[in-house]
Structures are given as structure tokens and as C-alpha cells.
Chain A
């Protein structure tokens, strides 16, 4: 079975500051890990994914995440926040067999000018 915990339902950062959104997972099989972003009244957009290989994954809009097996974490970072980054972010996990797909409860990111 797989599950995801996102620490912090709301995160506020100043424009230009580091963005760090936390995600810890639980999986009984090698996980596939994802970060999605959701803007108001829109569907989910894939930011980045980890399946196998390099543990530091780069995504769109300057975001990246690092898979740390020892810490069961997949935290999302961006060096410098932009106003357009304000949105809801979801971490998700799927088993390597692709059975089921589990989302966290989301983190709302606010960017302060």
C-alpha cells in the first residue's frame, strides 16, 4: 500500500525567497513520485516526476525535487518564488506496478510581494 503526507497545509513565502514544500511517502514497493500544481478552478498540471534513475528531478517553472529513500521524502523546492507560483501543490505516489495513485492533501502556497 502507498500513502503520502504533506507537512503544512499552508505555506507563505516572500517573492524571491526559497520555496520548500514537504512530502513524505509510504510505499511497500519501489515508488513512483509526483508533484502536481493546481491553479484555481483548473485541473492538475504535472510539475515533475521520479520513476527510476537520478534522484534529483527537475521540472517545469524552475521547480525540482529530490527522492531520498532513507528519509522516505520527496520535497519540492524552487530557489526564488514568483507571484505566479501561488497555487495548490499536491504530492502523489504510485507503486512501480502503477496500481492505484495516491495524492496528499495538498499545500497551498502564498507568495507575498
Chain B
């Protein structure tokens, strides 16, 4: 049973650039959430996608955007990168309508470094 997968594992970008991170949900799951985990902090909810639409959003600027594909995989896009965007980005998947967070499965994350 394939778990949540994320790519790439590590990424280094320069301030002002744009980045795209990818996530494939656990087999059978249809809802994807994205989190930002800064060093030494707990994960912070960015947004959640279900049925190819953004269903929930945390307190993140519009520079953070996403997409969900018909196969339920998802992308996180961050524009105009800032040094403060350096973090571990986690993807989590669930089964069911948006909001059923209690069955979340997390991927290993993508480590983004902005220089």
C-alpha cells in the first residue's frame, strides 16, 4: 500500500524565484493538505484540496497557491520566494470530504532552502 509521497526531497532556490512542490496521496485518499514546518516549530496549515478545489486555507499570503489533479495528486506553488519561506513542507492526505483531519497520513516532506 503506497503511502504519501513527495518530490523533490530537497530544493534550493534564490529569493524572488518560484517553486513547485509535488505530492501524491496515500492510495485510496482523495483529499490533500499542505503544511509549512519552520525549523524548531510545529507544522502550520497552508491549505487543503478536495475535488480539485481549495476547501480550507490557513493564514498564508496569496503567494502560496495550489492545485489538485483528477488523480488526487497535488502541487504547492510559492511565488516571489522570501528567506522566511525556508522550511520543511509537508503534505498530508485523508479520505473523505474536506475537514476530516483525524485520518491524516503525512509524507516525508520537501526541505526548501531559500538563499
Q: Which residues of A contact B40 (CB under 8 A)?
A: 105-106
Q: Are A100 and B56 in contact (CB under 8 A)?
A: yes
Q: Total interface residues on B, using CB and 8 Å?
A: 24
Q: A100-B45, A102-B45, A105-B41 are in contact. Are A44 and B56 (CB under 8 A)?
A: no
Contact indicator per residue, chain A 13-37, by CB within 8 Å of chain B (1) or not (0): 0000000000000000000101010
A37 to chain B, nearest CB (A): 11
Nearest CB in chain B to that of A104: its residue: B42
Which one of B11-19, B68-76, B79-87, B94-102 is at the interface? B94-102
Q: Which residues of B contact A103 (CB under 8 A)?
A: 35, 42-44
Q: Give chain B's interface residues, CB within 8 Å of chain A.
A: 4, 33, 35, 40-45, 56, 58, 90, 92, 98-102, 104-109
